[in-house]
C-alpha cells in the first residue's frame, strides 16, 4: 500500500503515518493530528502525556471501507496502534486520537480496562473531544454517557479526571470516587454505564427496561456522591453552609432535566429521590445544610 510520511525522514526517526488513500482528505487529517499534538503538548504535564508521546510516534491512520462495528465511523486498535477511519463527521479524528493518546498497556485504554467500563471511556472521550475541539455545534455520539461523565467529573474534578484518563488509570479513579460513594456502588456506576453504552450505540434511543433502570439508578448514585462530596467540603470549611445547599439544589435541578430528557418514560422526580436517600440515611446532609 502506498503511504506517505508526514515529515521528511531526515527530521526524526519518530513519525506517524497517514494513509495516502485519503487523497484530498489527507491535508485535513494531517492538520487535525497536528492540532491535537499541539493541544496535548501545551496542556498536560510530561507524566500525563507519556502514553500519547509513545503512541503518536508510531501511530498509523488508515482509511477503511469496513469496520468491525458496522455502525461506527472509525475505530482505534491498540494492538496495532492504528486508527481506521470510514467517515469523518467532523470530530471523528479527534475522538480516535484521544483513544490513541490514552492507551497504555494491553487492555487499558483511557478508562476502559480489559473490555470493561467502555461506556465511561466513550463518554469521557466524547467529553474531551467536545471540550477541546468543538466549534459549538457538536452533538456527542455517546450523549447519555457524555452527560453522566460530566456529572462524575463535577464530583471528582476536571484535573484529576483528565490526568487519570490519559494515564489509563481507572483503578485510581475508582479509589478517588470511593471517597464519596461505597466502593461497590462505584463499580456499579461504571457497569450501569456499560449497559447504556451497549444499548445506545449509534444514537439509538434507550428503550429496554434495563437501560431505563440504569439511567435512574446512575442518577441516584451520583446525587448521593455529589451530596457527600459537598458535605465534606462544608465540614472542612471549604464552602459555606449556604453555598453547599445551593450546590446540591443546582446539581439536582440541572441533571434531573437532562437525565429525564434522554431517557424516555422515566417517571421520577427529585422529591422521590430525596425521599429515598433520606429513608436510607444517605441524605442527612439535607437536614444539616439546606
Given the complex with Zn ion, which of 124 and 255 has the nearer CB atom?
A: 124
Burial of 271 (0-12, 13-18, 19+ CB in 10 A): exposed
**132: which residues sit within 8 A by CB, 6+ positions away?**
39, 43, 94
- Give min distance, CB of 250 to Zn ion, in A: 30
Instruction: Give the HSE-up count for residue 202: Cα atoms under 13 Å, Cβ half-sphere.
Output: 7
Cβ proximity of 96 and 75 under 8 Å: yes
271's grid cell: 422529591
Which residues, numbered 116-155, are part of the site for Zn ion (CB under 5 A)? 122
Rounded to 5 degrees, φ, ψ at 63 are -80, 135
Nearest residue (CB) to Zn ion, 103 versus 218: 103
**Which span (31-39, 115-123, 199-207, 229-237) binds Zn ion, by CB under 5 A?**
115-123
The span of 29-37, 86-94, 114-122, 282-290 binding Zn ion (CB under 5 A) equals 114-122
Contact criterion met (CB below 8 Å) for 20 and 2: yes
Smallest separation (angstroms) from Zn ion to the CB of 66: 17
In the bound state with Zn ion, the residue whose beta carbon lies nearer, of 88 and 122, is 122
Q: Identify which of residues 93 and 252 has a Cβ nearer to Zn ion in the complex.
A: 93
Q: What is the rounded CA–CA span in Å between residue 40 and residue 34?
A: 10
Q: Is 269 helix (H, G, I), strand (E, B) or coil?
A: coil
Number of residues that bind Zn ion (CB under 5 A): 1
Cell, residue 176? 478517588
Q: Cell 445544610 appears where?
A: 289
> Closest approach of Cβ 69 to Zn ion, in Å?
10
Cβ 145 vs Cβ 200: under 8 Å: yes
Other CB atoms within 10 Å distance of the CB of residue 71: 9
- Name which of 77 and 178 has its Cβ closer to Zn ion: 77
Neighbours of 130 (CB within 10 A): 18
Task: Measure the CA dihedral 172/175/176/181, to 10°.
Answer: 150
Shortest Å distance, C-beta 112 to Zn ion: 9
Smallest gap from residue 126 Cβ to Zn ion (A): 8
**Residues within window 37-76 making contact with Zn ion, judged by CB under 5 A:** none
Complex with Zn ion: residue 112 or 224, whichever CB lies closer? 112
Nearest approach, Cβ of 202 to Zn ion (angstroms)?
Answer: 12
Q: Least separation, in Å, of the C-beta of 95 and Zn ion?
A: 6
State which residue has the least CB distance to Zn ion. Answer: 122
197 vs 252 by CB, closer to Zn ion: 197
Residues that bind Zn ion (CB under 5 A): 122
Amino acid at each position: 500500500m502506498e503511504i506517505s510520511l508526514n515529515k521528511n525522514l531526515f527530521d526524526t526517526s519518530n513519525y506517524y503515518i497517514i494513509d495516502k488513500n485519503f487523497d484530498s482528505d489527507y491535508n485535513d487529517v494531517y492538520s487535525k493530528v497536528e492540532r491535537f499534538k499541539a493541544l496535548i503538548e501545551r496542556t498536560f504535564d510530561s507524566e500525563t502525556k507519556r502514553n500519547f508521546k509513545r503512541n503518536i510516534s508510531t501511530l498509523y491512520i488508515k482509511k477503511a471501507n469496513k469496520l468491525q462495528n458496522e455502525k461506527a465511523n472509525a475505530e482505534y486498535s491498540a494492538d496495532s496502534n492504528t486508527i481506521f477511519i470510514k467517515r469523518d463527521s467532523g470530530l471523528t479524528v479527534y475522538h480516535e486520537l484521544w483513544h490513541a493518546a490514552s492507551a497504555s498497556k494491553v487492555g487499558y485504554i483511557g478508562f476502559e480496562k480489559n473490555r470493561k467500563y467502555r461506556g465511561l471511556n466513550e463518554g469521557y472521550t466524547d467529553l474531551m473531544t467536545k471540550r477541546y475541539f468543538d466549534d459549538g455545534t457538536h452533538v456527542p455520539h455517546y450523549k447519555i454517557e457524555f452527560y453522566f461523565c460530566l456529572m462524575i467529573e463535577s464530583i471528582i474534578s476536571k484535573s484529576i479526571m483528565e490526568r487519570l484518563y490519559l494515564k489509563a488509570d481507572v483503578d485510581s479513579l475508582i479509589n478517588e470516587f470511593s471517597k464519596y460513594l461505597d466502593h461497590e456502588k462505584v463499580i456499579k456506576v461504571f457497569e450501569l454505564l456499560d449497559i447504556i453504552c451497549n444499548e445506545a450505540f449509534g444514537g439509538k434511543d434507550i428503550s429496554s427496561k434495563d437501560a431505563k433502570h440504569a439511567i435512574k439508578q446512575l442518577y441516584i448514585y451520583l446525587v448521593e456522591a455529589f451530596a457527600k462530596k459537598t458535605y465534606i467540603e462544608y465540614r472542612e470549611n471549604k464552602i459555606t453552609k449556604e453555598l453547599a445547599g445551593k450546590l446540591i439544589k443546582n446539581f439536582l435541578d440541572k441533571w434531573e432535566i437532562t437525565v429525564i430528557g434522554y431517557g424516555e418514560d422515566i417517571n421520577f422526580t427529585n422529591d422521590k429521590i430525596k425521599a429515598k436517600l433520606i429513608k436510607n440515611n444517605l441524605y442527612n446532609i439535607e437536614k444539616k445544610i439546606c
